[in-house]
Amino acid sequence: MKLVTASIFRLMEYIGELPLLLAIRRGLAMVLPLIIAGSLALLLLNIPIPGFQSFLDDTLGAQWRTLCTLIEQGSFGIASLAVLISIVSAYARDKGSLINGIGVNPVVTTAVCLSAYFVAAAPLDGNILQGFFSLGSGGFPIALCIAITSAPLFLFLMRFSPLNNFLSSAGDDSDVNGALAAIPAGIATIFIFGLVRLFLNQAGFTDLHNQAQFLFGAPFQGAGNTLSTGLGYIALSQSLWFFGLHGPNLLFLAENQILSPASLANIQAVSQGVEPSFILTKPFLDAFVHIGGSGSTLALILAILLRSKVISNRRLALIAILPALFNVNEVILFGLPLVLNPIYAIPFLLAPVVQTAVAYWATFLHLVPMTVNDIHWTTPLGFGGYAATGAISGAVLQVICMAVGIVVYLPFVELGNILNARRFKRSMNVLMAVAGTADQKPSKRCLDLPGQEGMLAKALAADLTRALDCDDQIYLVYQPQIDADKGKVVGAEALLRWKHPIHGLIPPHVAVALAEDADIIGRLGLRILLDACTQHAVLLQKGVRDCVLAVNMSAAQFEDVKLVEKIVDVLEKTGLEPTMLKVEVTESIALTPDASSVAILRDLRAIGIRVAIDDFGMGHTSLRYLREFPVDTVKIDRCFTQESAAGVNDHIIASIVQLCEAMGIQIIVEGVETVAQLERFRAQRCSLFQGYLFSQPLSGEGYVDFICQRQVVIPKN
């Protein structure tokens, strides 16, 4: 059983992360501003509050209608086009921009695929703005199809471009080179789509939308007003939606021949004082099945708000809930998105099918009357059920159907949580590996990563920026540093902790790398310094004056020419002497192109602040740089401590010790976990230590207590 679930998870993850599906998801989400603008306009034009529109007419003049119509046309009306552009550019960016050494700007790919779309789909007889740019009338699925076929085709053909070799060393502007190199593949792609179109035309597929309507209408020819017709209609409509095809539009013939006549017959029957006789009507489906729009998306939104741990989905659900109350569901359809989303494929089909069955049986068993009124499709939950049936029981049934929808969606929202947690873990592993690498500016280490990792990095960077403004997410812990000869605490290193509200503790070097990428390292660094100095000042009040506070600083912080001023400012505010502060920097600071950071270190030392080189022995500098570098302390990296006492390491340490003694530099050994390690280093004349053997990093108060005890028992074998 475990094996089966594991393979299902793997399969879902595999499908969910196929580059094309990923591009569709990102592409759809990127057109959200349009969709939301369109939804609002649509809502205002159709909101079913009596007198609302005429109130606006009176107060604003009839112009507001023109404005809303323009917005609707300019957003929903070109949504297919926008979707094509954003999917293609998302895909092109994700695939990276270097193909065989030629830089292909995503815009080039987008332009080619856009052209392919027009060649393949624009109506022969002009008036192109109508129809195929828009959401509803068949443009959208064609745009989807062409986006996901033209982008891979173009980038594939780029590999064989005869101009690649010719241009790869041409230098100058790489974007222009890329665009020139793209000419053959671009022409070929556009041409191929033209050929496909010709072929389709000759095969008789001239008006795909119309023909599809006939095709999907066929199964319902002569069908009765029965439960199976209802289930078939809803199942087909939802399946079409899943592939981005506007279900109700394509099933227009079925609506026209079965649903609408049935509604009319019921209304007429009532007006003639006869019992209505049709269960399956358009208002029936609108009231009991399309709650919140096709796919009963209001139920999905509530299920997400009830159980989802995916923060972006929760935010989206909050935005989507207002339009969904009036059955406008484009926001969730695009934002989540529902289209081609493997997680929601099943409930998106199942919820409406189950609702149809429940509502049908409830009506069949006379628990609820048949529909006797036409309702506007925007009539909200509760009102719709009442208005369609003319009975309170209709409203109750609508709420029950909604609850049924939530129950169907909930397990899949949970599944989404599990998949999201797994994805987070994998992406975080990548971020940790990337954050650990030396910073090679100007590229951003984490934010520029392609795929899921880049998305996670961007989301976390945004969260970190917000976290800087609140008190409870970012805090420090302190790890004591011990003089083993005297058995005393001599100082402590402040270590950053970021507790993310959803993901928990984020590794500090990932947080630092994100802050560097997002250009907020200056703010974060200053916050850390201020917090640490404020905490250390508590020790001064208790009379402890000979403890040194070590604070980590990243190389990026040294790009700030006012760094010294800012540090002095913090010291003055908190009442610390400069000699009580030590900044820990890694060797990479010596590698930055200009020497200004080394000059800043000199300035810091000149006013009495101490400087330590962190992770010594790990980087490229090591012994050679020690002579030129203004330092007081060298921290021997954990990897030397953890390794076995094999000869080579001991030799290296012996020479570090010798050199440091000669230059009057203090040594602190990091990551000491065992007595054996301690003895090994003491035998090498090292006396200052930091590590789990003495103490884990402690909270601010824990650290003050630890120091106030002063005396430390040095463990022995």
Residues forming contacts to ligand C2E in the complex (CB under 6 A) are 479, 495-496, 508-509, 512, 528, 552-554, 584, 614-615, 638, 671-673, 691-692, 697
Task: Pick the piece of the chain touching Ca ion (CB under 5 A) from 599-607, 615-623, 656-664, 694-702.
Answer: 615-623
For residue 477, give the amino acid letter.
V
**Residue nearer to ligand C2E on the CB measure, 94 or 584:** 584
Q: By CB under 5 A, tell whether 94 contacts Ca ion.
A: no
DSSP code for 713: P
Q: Distances in Å between the alpha carbon of 398 and those of 231, 232, 332, 401, 415?
A: 17, 21, 21, 5, 27
**Residue nearer to ligand C2E on the CB measure, 610 or 638:** 638
Q: What is the DSSP code string of 563-630?
A: HHHHHHHHHHHHT--GGGEEEEE-GGGGGSSSTHHHHHHHHHHHTT-EEEEEEETTSS-HHHHHTTS-
**Residue nearer to ligand C2E on the CB measure, 105 or 479:** 479
Q: Which of 439, 453, 517, 614 binds Ca ion (CB under 5 A)?
A: 614
* Closest distance of CB 638 from Ca ion, Å: 6
**Residue nearer to ligand C2E on the CB measure, 21 or 495:** 495
* Closest distance of CB 103 from Ca ion, Å: 38
**Residue nearer to Ca ion on the CB measure, 394 or 671:** 671
**Residue nearer to ligand C2E on the CB measure, 488 or 509:** 509
* Closest distance of CB 530 from Ca ion, Å: 18
**Residue nearer to ligand C2E on the CB measure, 170 or 434:** 434
- Backbone φ and ψ for 334, nearest 5 degrees, come out as -90, -35
DSSP code for 711: B
Q: How many helices (H) and strands (E) does the chain have?
A: 32, 11
Residue in this structure with the two tokens 């994700």, named with its chain if needed: 94
**Residue nearer to ligand C2E on the CB measure, 367 or 438:** 438
* Closest distance of CB 552 from ligand C2E, Å: 4
> Long-range CB contacts (< 8 A, 24+ apart) of 561-565?
561/596, 563/600, 564/600, 564/603, 564/604, 564/607
* Closest distance of CB 615 from Ca ion, Å: 4
**Residue nearer to Ca ion on the CB measure, 463 or 516:** 516
Dihedral angle computed from the Cα positions of residues 435, 437, 441 and 445, in that order, rounded to the nearest 10 degrees: -30
Cα radius of gyration rounded to whole Å, the chain: 33
When CB distances are held under 5 to 8 angstroms depending on the partner's kind, the choice from ligand C2E, Ca ion, none that residue 553 binds is ligand C2E
When CB distances are held under 5 to 8 angstroms depending on the partner's kind, the choice from ligand C2E, Ca ion, none that residue 141 binds is none
* Closest distance of CB 234 from ligand C2E, Å: 53
Task: Pick the piece of the chain touching Ca ion (CB under 5 A) from 102-110, 238-246, 251-259, 581-589.
Answer: 581-589
**Residue nearer to ligand C2E on the CB measure, 295 or 697:** 697
**Residue nearer to ligand C2E on the CB measure, 387 or 585:** 585
Task: Pick the piece of the chain touching Ca ion (CB under 5 A) from 230-238, 285-293, 610-618, 648-656.
Answer: 610-618
Instruction: Report the sign of the C-alpha dihedral through residues 180, 181, 187, 193, in that order.
Output: negative
Q: By CB under 5 A, tell whether 329 contacts Ca ion.
A: no
Name the token pair of 483. Answer: 């003089």
Nearest to 293 by CA among 261, 257, 321, 314: 321
* Closest distance of CB 586 from ligand C2E, Å: 7
**Residue nearer to ligand C2E on the CB measure, 246 or 638:** 638
* Closest distance of CB 24 from ligand C2E, Å: 37
When CB distances are held under 5 to 8 angstroms depending on the partner's kind, the choice from ligand C2E, Ca ion, none that residue 340 binds is none
* Closest distance of CB 439 from ligand C2E, Å: 11
Q: By CB under 5 A, tell whether 552 contacts Ca ion.
A: yes
CB 675 within 8 A of CB 716: yes
How many other CB atoms are found less than 10 A from the CB of residue 121? Answer: 22
* Closest distance of CB 678 from ligand C2E, Å: 11
**Residue nearer to ligand C2E on the CB measure, 419 or 636:** 636
Q: By CB under 5 A, tell whether 584 contacts Ca ion.
A: yes
- Determine what percent of the chain falls in helix, strand and coil, rounding each to the nearest 5: 65, 10, 30
The three state secondary structure string of 625-666 is HHCCCCCCEEEECHHHHHCCCCHHHHHHHHHHHHHHHHHCCE
* Closest distance of CB 245 from Ca ion, Å: 57
When CB distances are held under 5 to 8 angstroms depending on the partner's kind, the choice from Ca ion, ligand C2E, none that residue 509 binds is ligand C2E
Task: Pick the piece of the chain touching Ca ion (CB under 5 A) from 132-140, 405-413, 437-445, 576-584.
Answer: 576-584
How many residues in the shown chain lie near Ca ion by CB under 5 A?
Answer: 5
* Closest distance of CB 551 from ligand C2E, Å: 6
* Closest distance of CB 524 from ligand C2E, Å: 8
DSSP code for 500: E
How many other CB atoms are found less than 10 A from the CB of residue 621? Answer: 19
When CB distances are held under 5 to 8 angstroms depending on the partner's kind, the choice from ligand C2E, Ca ion, none that residue 692 binds is ligand C2E
Q: Which of residues 650-679 bind Ca ion (CB under 5 A)?
A: 670
**Residue nearer to ligand C2E on the CB measure, 286 or 615:** 615
When CB distances are held under 5 to 8 angstroms depending on the partner's kind, the choice from ligand C2E, Ca ion, none that residue 587 binds is none
When CB distances are held under 5 to 8 angstroms depending on the partner's kind, the choice from ligand C2E, Ca ion, none that residue 364 binds is none
DSSP code for 277: -
Task: Pick the piece of the chain touching Ca ion (CB under 5 A) from 13-21, 227-235, 591-599, 611-619.
Answer: 611-619
Name the token pair of 253. Answer: 């013939």
Residue in this structure with the two tokens 């009507």, named with its chain if needed: 281
List Cβ neighbours of 585 (8 Å cut-off, separation of 6 or more).
552, 553, 554, 555, 558, 601, 611, 612, 613, 614
* Closest distance of CB 498 from ligand C2E, Å: 10
List Cβ neighbours of 438 (8 Å cut-off, separation of 6 or more).
588, 591, 619
Secondary structure class of 122 (helix, strand, coil): coil
Residue in this structure with the two tokens 């923060």, named with its chain if needed: 311
Q: By CB under 5 A, tell whether 559 contacts Ca ion.
A: no
Terminal Cα distance for the chain, rounded: 50
Q: By CB under 5 A, tell whether 615 contacts Ca ion.
A: yes
User: In angstroms, rounded to a whole number, what is the distance separating the alpha carbons of residues 13 and 256?
Assistant: 41
Q: By CB under 5 A, tell whether 587 contacts Ca ion.
A: no
Report the interface residues with Ca ion, using CB under 5 A: 552, 584, 614-615, 670
